[in-house]
Structure 1
Amino acid sequence: MSTEPGQDIPEASGNAPTAATVATGSGPLVGITEGGVSRFLGIPYAAAPFGEHRFRLPQPVEPWEEPRDASRLGATAPQAPYSGPIGELLATVTVPGNEILNVNVWTPADHAGASLPVMVWIHGGSFVHGSNALDAYDGTAFARDGVVLVAVNYRLGSEGFSVLDDVPMNLGIADQLAALVWVQDEIAHFGGDPSNVTVFGESAGGSSVATLLAHPDAASLMTRAIVQSGPLESQTRERAGRVSKLMAKDLGVPASRAGFKRIPPEGLVASQERVMAGGNPISGGPGFAVATDTQIVPASPFDALRAGQASGIPLLIGSTTEEYRLWFVPTGLIPTFKRFHLFAARLKLGIRASTVRTFRRNRPKAPTGEILGAIATDLLLRVPLNRVADARAAAGSDTWVYEFAWRSPVGEDGHGALGAAHALELGFVFDHLDSPEAIRMTGTDAPQSLATSMHDAWVSFATTGDPGWARWDATRPVRTFDGVDDAVVLAPRDDERQALTP
């Protein structure tokens, strides 16, 4: 989906829209109030990161005096749409323009004098896709329930995560930090309480939240955090820089600011698509990632959180049951995996043969591709999040763990059902199952009761600091959102976790 400059987003249902105004430190904004919710879109929190600001840390916004139209979506970061079968499931919205460092805000229309909980959403997309312009991230349901929702855009791909000789690393994370500073400075104008901010994100957004938690300034920027299906490890400079070196070779330019600045943004996007073709988070391949550096990411989030960083910040963390199915099912990969693929992966990753037998015993009819996917999901996400939860619980830090287990029937007539795949929970968290993006993943008959249950838990966590089930302890309680009874399960599949835990 693409919008033209100045094109309005589709109107939300409810009462006829009216103008909404707010004064910020940078200048006045005019948004829209409809159905009891005011929305202010495309608000710049930093200067456009192009021209003299390209490949530099985020810079302050130039203030304005005349009211700024905030009724339309702001510009999105340069990116290519998802390709192939996954592109039929995951949407891309492109809004032209240079002011890509912007936020969208939804707040109750009657917020004057209020001091409401704030939730800041950081989108995912493997650090190369995504934006706050997706309808799936509409914050109306949160504002309806008394929460001010802020959705953040940040630099993606080579603009935000290149590893170049004379460029700060992790510029996309620096953008997110700048957005959180903006929230501290400005959110009271929208009825939000800057001392009650929950930062949440999914996939690369979840990884970003973990990285922000590990930052020394975390306690001054957030009150709580939610990590949804986010890898917790950062990469070394050398490993994270592989894709930048491949792009430099592909483009015939030095791996430096001058070399990459010579290429227009769309040229860098085209190059990164070429050098990253065929890779994915489960099977691997070159890609952009958070990299350990001395300035913004001084330590891997996994190590920092286990060592006690952000111990005073309550954390809700979890994953879906079958993350791997997003990449394996639409592409038809599952039946292509044979036993020798699993054997090679086992040797490469140092997995014991007895571990594979445990996974097979628990899935007696599963093909090899599903066994491999389940192991990869646990190695990438479930085992690390359990280890972080264990360390935090041992230190007395408040931590809750969830698992999204409802299985989507989408695709069951082709390569197999999508199941409880990566990103499936988003429509439920935002209580927006009728969004086009959610329907692509869930179909048209997803249970509203599950959306209500999951959304309410997120709102409760942001509002009270308690999502509604027992904190993590030695019994390992996991709220399992399956659409049946959404019960708390103690230590699910713990034999598999133990088999993969060092």
Structure 2
Amino acid sequence: MSAAEGWTRRGAIAGVTASGAALWAASAANAAPAGIVRAPAGDFVGTREGGVHAFRGIRYGRAERFRAAVPVAQPGTRVAAQRFGPICPQKSESDEPRSEDCLFLNIWTAEPRAAAKKPVMLYIHGGAYSNGTVTDPQTHGHHLAARGDVVVVTVNHRLNAFGYLYLARLDPRFADSGNLGQLDLVLALQWVRDNIAAFGGDPNCVMVFGQSGGGAKIATMMAMPAAKGLFHRAATMSGQQVTASGPLNATARTRAYLRRLGVTETDLGPLLAMPTERLVDALDATDPVLGGGVYFGPVLDMKWLTRHPFWPDAHPQGLAVPMLLGNTHDETRAFLSPDSPKVRGLNWDNVADRIAPELRIDILPEWVVTQYREHFPDWTPTQVFYDATTCGRSWRGQVIEAEERARAGAPGWVYQLDFGSRTDPRRGAFHTMDIPLVFGTLDAQGSQTGTAADARTASAAIQESFVAFTRAGDPNHAGLPHWPRYDLATRGTMVFDTRSRVENDPRGWQRELFARVPYIQPGT
């Protein structure tokens, strides 16, 4: 996911994140004190809410600016875990408390005792690498945990310049910079390995799942030796990372960011003393490669990341980890609003020009439009615009990752979400639509699923698949037709909708159309 997609995502799903004051009040409202969970990292006091034990704002690490975090443990010390911790500073409209000191995780469990040994689902949020938080009500884990068969963990970590500003080539003191956000996630997984049994979880059965940027972070961790063995399944929801940012492009972006701050690359002292707010303000520095706001993401630094995750093939480290890869049918209807100038007034005379910058690949847009009109003669310019930008831009990375795993014989399953917005049907199955369906948070602020029988049916199908996959490394369950592993011969794909079904090679024509040109991961 590109930086531009990360910024525009906020406008596409405006109102998803509750106001900070309301959210923090809600985290403790209507909650009774829970028993103490005694774990190696401390004695944690959470809340009991509708039969589920919730532990919010558990610190898993502490870090100095632009340096790797260190673990935090307080053995035998009583620790209040009843409110979310602050989120990473970022350019977002909500008034949630935020701080560079943001390394906190949250746990929901129905049975907090070591003997329970329930599978663990650990969620990593989206928002590219620059925005986002797991305090979003759609990602609260109470519904998943209330089922009684999994323990849910959600994690916040450092983002944007705080987590991914690459300074290593400019100053040896910051040898870990560029991948600090990734190392935060590794630290959180180590905390889970060492402590989750006390909350009823099985440290030997951990699935990481993440949407958008969260999925990309997971794909990256599958190529990081530091993360080896810390998770046993992986599910990516509209989030891929075929290649990481090259160190030269990452350095060029760092220089653009420093110029915006008025800091010279030969003296980074002012960068360490600068107020947090100034570092956030400078995130609007112009990206010297992509244009728009400066991009931040994992870097091929040859220390923590020594090769690309899925180029020239799937990293061997991740091949033994079963993987679930998914996308939504109408990804770009989230980034490109039907009411935006890019979409209003679309016609056959202007659609090629408007598609060109949104495809993010070097392909003749007039030819693309002609091919679409011949293949789908009944489609409107708007339908062509959204399908082409989704298939040429947002879906390509997932196809490549699934293909490379299939070539290597690695266990993998692919899904496509067709269940569309019930509150604004023009958006279809847009980017982020699968979040409330997986979490079961259909009634949460920001969800567009509705709460009718059709939404509950679609949610049950996808949620049961994620739980089955966490437990056994296979998403099949009694409520679905048989879901085959993805292979290059049939490309079997589960289509989640009001009636979920398997289709072989859905949108195969689009896949072949865009395979004519190379895919370049945004930001690399």
Q: Structure 2 length as normaliser, TM-score? A: 0.83
**Structure 2 residue corresponding to 1:383, chosen from 388, 396, 403:** 396
What is the distance in 1 between the residues matched to 2:235 and 2:308?
Answer: 18
1:236-279, CA deviations, whole angstroms, 9 ceiling, x for partnerless residues?
Answer: 12333454333222221124743422321121112214647xx9
1:124 is aligned to 126
Q: Establish whether residue 227 from structure 1 lines up as the match of residue 240 from structure 2.
A: no
**Structure 2 residue corresponding to 1:151, chosen from 151, 154, 160:** 154
Q: 1:245 to 1:409 in 2, by over 3 A?
A: farther
What is the distance in 2 between the residues matched to 1:367 and 1:487?
Answer: 27
2:514 is aligned to 500
- Given that residues 423 and 450 in structure 2 are in contact (C-alpha distance below 8 angstroms), is that contact kept between their aligned partners in structure 1? yes
- Given that residues 302 and 384 in structure 1 are in contact (C-alpha distance below 8 angstroms), is that contact kept between their aligned partners in structure 2? no
What is the distance in 1 between the residues matched to 2:71 and 2:47?
Answer: 26
Query: What pairs with 1:307-318 in structure 2 (closer than 5 Å)?
Result: 307-318=315-326
1:99 is aligned to 101
Which deviates more from structure 2 when the two are superposed, residues 205-214 or residues 380-389?
380-389
Which deviates more from structure 2 when the two are superposed, residues 126-135 or residues 365-374?
365-374
1:88 is aligned to none
Q: Establish whether residue 300 from structure 1 lines up as the match of residue 303 from structure 2.
A: no
What is the distance in 2 between the residues matched to 1:200 and 1:432?
Answer: 16
What is the distance in 2 between the residues matched to 1:342 and 1:99?
Answer: 41
Q: Establish whether residue 349 from structure 1 lines up as the match of residue 362 from structure 2.
A: yes
What is the distance in 1 between the residues matched to 2:102 and 2:91?
Answer: 15
Partner-residue secondary structure (3-state), 2:410: coil
Tell me the CA shift for residue 64 of structure 1: 6.0
Q: Establish whether residue 209 from structure 1 lines up as the match of residue 218 from structure 2.
A: yes
**Structure 2 residue corresponding to 1:176, chosen from 185, 190, 210:** 185
Letter in 2 for 1:489: E
Partner-residue secondary structure (3-state), 1:128: coil
Q: 1:358 to 1:149 in 2, by over 3 A?
A: same
Partner-residue secondary structure (3-state), 1:466: coil
What is the distance in 2 between the residues matched to 1:482 and 1:286?
Answer: 37
**Structure 2 residue corresponding to 1:288, chosen from 293, 296, 313:** 296
1:439-481, CA deviations, whole angstroms, 9 ceiling, x for partnerless residues?
Answer: xx44565711111111111111101211111111221111111
Identity of aligned pairs, percent? 31
Q: Establish whether residue 464 from structure 1 lines up as the match of residue 472 from structure 2.
A: yes
2:433 is aligned to 424
1:364 is aligned to 377
Which deviates more from structure 2 when the two are superposed, residues 34-43 or residues 254-263?
254-263
- Given that residues 346 and 353 in structure 1 are in contact (C-alpha distance below 8 angstroms), is that contact kept between their aligned partners in structure 2? no
Tell me the CA shift for residue 342 of structure 1: 4.0
What is the distance in 2 between the residues matched to 1:373 and 1:24?
Answer: 49
Partner-residue secondary structure (3-state), 2:311: helix
1:480 is aligned to 495
Which deviates more from structure 2 when the two are superposed, residues 401-410 or residues 355-364?
355-364
Letter in 1 for 2:155: V
2:143 is aligned to 141
**Structure 2 residue corresponding to 1:401, chosen from 414, 421, 427:** 414
Tell me the CA shift for residue 5 of structure 1: 12
Partner-residue secondary structure (3-state), 2:236: strand
Q: Establish whether residue 38 from structure 1 lines up as the match of residue 49 from structure 2.
A: no
Partner-residue secondary structure (3-state), 1:313: coil
What is the distance in 2 between the residues matched to 1:176 and 1:24?
Answer: 20
Tell me the CA shift for residue 217 of structure 1: 4.1
**Structure 1 residue corresponding to 2:199, chosen from 174, 184, 190:** 190
Letter in 2 for 1:390: E
Tell me the CA shift for residue 12 of structure 1: 7.7
Tell me the CA shift for residue 404 of structure 1: 0.9
What is the distance in 1 between the residues matched to 2:22 and 2:494?
Answer: 43
Which deviates more from structure 2 when the two are superposed, residues 257-266 or residues 171-180?
257-266
What is the distance in 1 between the residues matched to 2:364 and 2:298?
Answer: 26
1:173-212, CA deviations, whole angstroms, 9 ceiling, x for partnerless residues?
Answer: 1111111111111111111111111011011111000001
Letter in 2 for 1:118: V
Q: 1:492 to 1:96 in 2, by over 3 A?
A: closer
Q: 1:219 to 1:253 in 2, by over 3 A?
A: closer
Partner-residue secondary structure (3-state), 1:127: coil
Let me know the Cα RMSD of the aligned residues.
Answer: 2.9
1:240 is aligned to 250
Query: What pairs with 1:63-78 in structure 2 (closer than 5 Å)?
Result: 63=74, 65-78=76-89
1:9 is aligned to 26
What is the distance in 1 between the residues matched to 2:24 and 2:327?
Answer: 36
Q: 1:241 to 1:320 in 2, by over 3 A?
A: farther
1:464-500, CA deviations, whole angstroms, 9 ceiling, x for partnerless residues?
Answer: 21111111122111111122x1111111111110122
What is the distance in 2 between the residues matched to 1:248 and 1:336?
Answer: 40
**Structure 1 residue corresponding to 2:72, chosen from 61, 65, 78:** 61
How many equivalent residue pairs?
A: 477
Q: 1:388 to 1:467 in 2, by over 3 A?
A: same
Which deviates more from structure 2 when the two are superposed, residues 391-400 or residues 310-319?
391-400
Higher RCO (C-alpha 8 Å, min separation 6): 2
What is the distance in 2 between the residues matched to 1:217 and 1:59?
Answer: 14
- Given that residues 173 and 296 in structure 1 are in contact (C-alpha distance below 8 angstroms), is that contact kept between their aligned partners in structure 2? no
Q: Structure 1 length as normaliser, TM-score? A: 0.87
- Given that residues 44 and 102 in structure 1 are in contact (C-alpha distance below 8 angstroms), is that contact kept between their aligned partners in structure 2? yes
